[in-house]
Amino acid sequence: MRIIPRCLVLAFMPFAAWAQSGDEDDARKDTNWQEAAHTLPARPDERNLLAFRVGSQPEGRFFVDPESISRGEDDVIRYVLVMRGSGGASTVTFEGVRCGVRARRLYASLERDGGWRAMKNSAWRDLPVQGSSIVMFGYSGNDPRAVLAYDYLCDGPAPRAREDIIARLRGKRIDYLDPGHGVEP
HSE-up (13 A, CA, CB side) for residue 31: 0
Closest CA relative to residue 64, chosen from 152, 140, 127, 130 = 152
pLDDT band of residue 49 (cuts 50, 70, 90) is very high
**CB-CB contact of 98 with 28 (8 Å):** yes
Q: What is the pLDDT of residues 102-155, one digit of tens each?
A: 999 999 999 998 899 999 989 999 998 755 444 434 345 678 999 999 999 999
Give residue 16's region: left, alpha or beta (phi > 0; psi -120 to 50): alpha
Distance CA 108, CA 179 (A): 41
pLDDT band of residue 165 (cuts 50, 70, 90) is very high
Q: Is the pTM of this model over 0.75?
A: no
72 or 7: whose pLDDT is higher?
72
Closest CA relative to residue 99, chosen from 136, 65, 132, 124 = 124
Domain ranges of the chain: 41-171
Highest mean pLDDT among 10-24, 47-61, 75-89, 169-183: 75-89
Mean pLDDT of 71-83: 96
